[in-house]
Amino acid sequence: MSDEHSTRRILIVEDEPKLANLVGDYLKAASFETQIVDDGRDVIDAVKAQMPDLILLDLMLPGRDGFDICRELRSFSEVPIVMMTARVEEIDRLVGLELGADDYICKPFSPREVVARVKAILRRTQRSATSPASESTEAVAPTGLQIDEARYTASFGGKPLDLTPVEFRLLKTLAAAPGRVFSRDRLLDNLYTDHRVVTDRTVDSHIKNLRRKLDQASPDQELIRSIYGVGYKLEL
Ligand code: CA
């Protein structure tokens, strides 16, 4: 049939053999091809040799840590990267560093969750890679989110969203990288042009209002997802 059904290769970078094999088994059961690398120093070579469709990248590895690896990968590849870490605080740091990872999974995780996440990311990246190459200068996402930076307005599916300036900036930040998780701190940095003192709660309440407005324009989709203990992302 189409390319959609060709086997996808997942590179699992994980130094705990039991965990690596468990995730590998679930991915194989879901018809993925898998390869396991257990040393941080071998990842770049493995990626160049295997050209995986997605990388599951553990943060704490012998030889070289995941931060460093992710940074180097992004210097030559757009392959989707899902970081795996044992600590929520590390995720917050990862998001803050903006290493270019596509998603983050916190250990302990269920292998089923990993498979679901891998599928969702591949669907998303495939869609953006195969979407028609229109050279429009307007920021038009595939689902019909339109952001007009000059007018400070946005619409969804043709329906105008009546946003405050803060909500507009929030949406613009999230929409710049759909699927990427933004920490509250990161979002706060983009909310106000002056340096007023605000709290995490402020972000939450603006997100709540933004969600309500997006929901009115598109009742069937949950566009903004909250990631417990980390922040928010926009799913298009
Ligand atoms: Ca590890």
Q: Would you say domain 138-234 falls under CATH 3.90.1300.10?
A: no
Q: What is the pLDDT of residues 101-111, one digit of tens each?
A: 888 888 888 89
Domains 9-130 and 138-234 share a fold: no
pLDDT surpasses 60 at 132 = no
pLDDT surpasses 90 at 17 = yes
Interatomic CA distance for residues 223 and 225, integer angstroms: 6
* 66-78 mean pLDDT: 89
Q: Which residues contact 49 (CB under 8 A, 6 or more apart)?
A: none
Phi, psi of 183 (to 5 degrees): -70, 160
Interatomic CA distance for residues 186 and 172, integer angstroms: 13
SS3 label, residue 58: strand
Kindly state the percentage of the chain with pLDDT values over 90. 33
CA of 78 to the centre of ligand 1 (A): 23
Interatomic CA distance for residues 218 and 3, integer angstroms: 31
CA of 15 to the centre of ligand 1 (A): 5
CATH code linked to domain 9-130 = 3.40.50.2300
pLDDT score of 9: 96
**Positive or negative torsion for Cα 111, 185, 123, 75:** negative
Position with higher pLDDT, 138 vs 202? 202
Q: What is the pLDDT of residues 155-177, one digit of tens each?
A: 988 888 988 888 888 999 898 88
Question: For strand 159-161 and strand 153-156, is the pairing parallel, antiparallel, or unpaired?
Answer: antiparallel
CA of 21 to the centre of ligand 1 (A): 13
Q: Which string of b and e fits 166-185 if b means at least 16 CB within 10 Å?
A: bbbbbbbbbbeebbbbbbbe
Domain boundaries, the chain: 9-130, 138-234
Length of the chain, please? 236
How would residue 114 be classed by pLDDT, with cut points 50, 70 and 90?
A: very high
* 48-62 mean pLDDT: 94
Q: What is the pLDDT of residues 190-232, one digit of tens each?
A: 776 655 556 667 788 889 889 999 988 888 888 898 887 788 9
CA of 84 to the centre of ligand 1 (A): 9
CA of 109 to the centre of ligand 1 (A): 14
